[in-house]
Amino acid sequence: MKENSLSRSAGLLPPCLTFGLVFSLMLSLSAMAQTAAAPAVTVIRAGTLIDGKSNTVRRDQVIVIRGNQIESVSDAAGAKIPDGAQVIDLSKSTVLPGLIDSHTHIFLQGEDPAKGGYDANILNQPLAMRAARATVSARRALEQGFTTLRDLETEGAGYGDVGIKEAIEQGYIPGPRMFVVTRAISTTGGYPLEGYAPELDMPKGAQIVDGPVEARKAAREQLDHGADWIKVYMTHRSWVGKNGELVSQPTLTVEELHAIVDEAHGWGKKVACHAYSGIGLHRALDGGCDSIEHGLDLDDAAIAQMLKQGTWYVPTLSVYYAAWAPADTEDGQRDRLRAAVHEPSFRKALKSGVKIVFGTDMGGIPWTEPIAQEFSRMVEFGMQPMDAIQSATSRAAVMLDMEGKIGVVAPGAYADIIAVNGDPLRDIKLLERVQFVMKDGQVFRAK
Ligand SMILES: [Zn+2]
C-alpha cells in the first residue's frame, strides 16, 4: 500500500528531481536513525484475550507492544514487563484485535429519501462537503473499534477515498486502515443517477463501461489512480418475479467482467462483485470475482461454485432490514422478499463452509448507528459468536492479503487492539460498546 502511494507521488516529479528528493530523504532518514529514540514500549494486561484466530480464549495475558507492532503475548504469571514500559490495565476486560468491516461507504451518509436521498448527495453537495463528512465516517469507525475498512466505492466522489486514505496514513485525520476501490464499475443502464430526461447528461455513481475494451481501460485507470481492489456491480435493479422469486437485472457480461478480473489479477489485486441473484450472480462467478457482496439469493450451484473457486462471501445482512418501503408498494414487497431470501442463503453458505466475511454496507446505514449490529444478525442466523468475530478479524485479514498483520493479537501483527467490558461470546451486542481502541500502537480511545 505504502509502496503504491510513494511511487504515485514520485511519478509526478521529473526524474532528476525525484532522484534528488529521494537522495535527500535518505540522508535525513539516516540522520534521524542516529538520533531518534527507541520506539515506545507499551504493555497491555488483558483479563481475557480473544486473539481473532484461535478458538480458545486465554485468561490473564500480557501483550508487549514495541512501536506499532506486537512483540509478544504471554501468560501474566512469569511475564517480564520491559523497563520503562507504559502499562495499560485491561485486566477486567476482554481484549480482541481491532475489527475489520469489509463493506463500507464513507462517502454515503444513509441519505434520507425525504431529503432527496442518493441523488441529492451527488447533485447538491460540493465535493469538499462530501470529503469532510467522509472524515467523520472514518473517525466514527475507529471510535467503534473498526481499525480497518475495505471501503467499496465513493458513489460519485471519484478518487476521494484515495485522498482520505492518504490523509489517515499521513496522520492528518484519525481513521482506520483503508482498502479503497475508487469509482466502481457498471454498465449503461446499470447505475444511478436515473430517471432524468434522456437529453440530460447526468453524472453516475459508478464508472460506466460497455464492452471488454472499456471495462479493461476503466480497471487500468482505477488501479493507476490508487485502487486497492476493484468493485464491480454485476446486478442492478431487482423486483419480485412472476413466481414470487427475486429477480435482479444483470449488468456486465462474462467477457466484460473477465477483462476486469484479468487486469486486476495481473496487478496483484482482487475484484469485489455486488451480485444479488440469478444471471448476474452466475456471471460474477463465471467471470472469476474474488468476493460476492450481498449474495441475497444463493442457489445451490452458486454455493458449489463459490466453494470450488474459494470465493469470499460478504453478506451485509443488516442493511436489508432497514428502511423498507411500505408493504403495499412494489418496492416494499421487493424489500421484504430480499430479506426473506437472504437468511436461508446465509444459513446454506454457513453450513456448506463458504468463507463468510463481516461487512455492513455502512453509509447505506447512517454512520450514527452501531457498525457492530451486523454481529447480532449473523449470530441470529446461526453463526457461532467466535466465528462471527473471526469473520471480522483473521478471516477478513486473509481476504485482504494481510494475514498475520491485522485481525490477530499475536507477535508480528500491527498493534490494532480493542477491549470491551464483559464476554462478547455470551452477549455479542457488547461489541457495539467498545471501551478501548488502539491502532498502530496509538491509543485512540480509553474509557
Ligand atoms: Zn455497498
pTM: 0.91
CA distance linking residue 315 with residue 354, whole number of Å: 11
352 three-class SS:
helix
| Assigned C-alpha cell, 420 | 470491551
Q: At what angle do helices 2-10 and 15-35 cross, to 10 degrees?
A: 130
Please tell me the distance between residue 9's alpha carbon and the centre of ligand 1 in angstroms.
29
- 22 CA → ligand 1 middle, Å: 39
Residues ≥6 apart with Cβ < 8 Å to 262: 216
| Distance between CA atoms of residues 102 and 109, nearest Å | 17
User: What is the reported pLDDT for 104?
Assistant: 98
Residue 66 and residue 41: Cα distance in Å, rounded?
A: 5
- What distance in angstroms lies between residue 368's CA and the mean position of ligand 1's atoms? 17
Question: What's the 274 CA to ligand 1 centre distance in angstroms?
Answer: 8
* Separation of alpha carbons 303 and 319, rounded Å: 22
Per-residue DSSP letters for 54-119?
A: -SS-EEEEEEEEETTEEEEEEESTTPPPPTT-EEEEEEEEEEEEPEEEEEE-TT-----GGGTHHH
Burial of 208 (0-12, 13-18, 19+ CB in 10 A): middle
Cβ atoms within 10 Å of 243's Cβ, excluding its own: 6
- Span from the CA of 438 to the centroid of ligand 1 (angstroms): 27
Q: What is the pLDDT of residue 436?
A: 98
CA 326–ligand 1 middle distance (angstroms): 23
**Spatial contact of 62 and 43, defined as CB atoms under 8 Å apart:** yes
The CA 129 to ligand 1 mean position distance, Å, reads 21
Measured distance between the N- and C-terminal CA atoms of the chain, rounded to whole angstroms: 32
Could you tell me the distance, in angstroms and rounded to a whole number, from the CA of residue 364 to the centre of ligand 1? Answer: 7
Look at residue 13 in the predicted model and tell me its pLDDT.
39
Ramachandran area for residue 360 (φ above 0: left; ψ -120 to 50: alpha; else beta): alpha
According to DSSP, the β-strands at 436-439 and 417-420 are antiparallel
CA–centroid distance, 12 to ligand 1, in Å, is 32
Q: How far is the CA of 149 from the centre of ligand 1 (A)?
A: 12
Q: How far is the CA of 34 from the centre of ligand 1 (A)?
A: 47
What is the chain's pLDDT, residue by residue, as a tens digit (447 residues)? Answer: 434 433 333 334 333 444 334 434 444 444 444 446 788 999 999 999 999 999 999 999 999 999 999 999 999 998 999 999 999 999 999 999 999 999 999 999 999 888 999 999 999 999 999 999 999 999 999 999 999 999 999 999 999 999 999 999 999 999 999 999 999 999 999 999 999 999 999 999 999 999 999 999 999 999 999 999 999 999 999 999 999 999 999 999 999 999 999 999 999 999 999 999 999 999 999 999 999 999 999 999 999 999 999 999 999 999 999 889 999 999 999 999 999 999 999 999 999 999 999 999 999 999 999 999 999 999 999 999 999 999 999 999 999 999 999 999 999 999 999 999 999 999 999 999 999 999 999 999 887
| CA count, 13 A, side-chain hemisphere, 401 | 9
Distance from the alpha carbon of residue 221 to the mean position of ligand 1, in angstroms: 21
Provide the pLDDT for residue 322. Answer: 82
Residue with cell 470475482: 289
Under DSSP, the state recorded for 365 is B
What is the DSSP-derived secondary structure letter of residue 324? P
Ligand 1 midpoint to CA 293 (Å)? 8
Instruction: Check: CB of residue 182 under 8 Å from CB of residue 161.
Output: yes
H helices present in 310-365, as ranges: 330-352
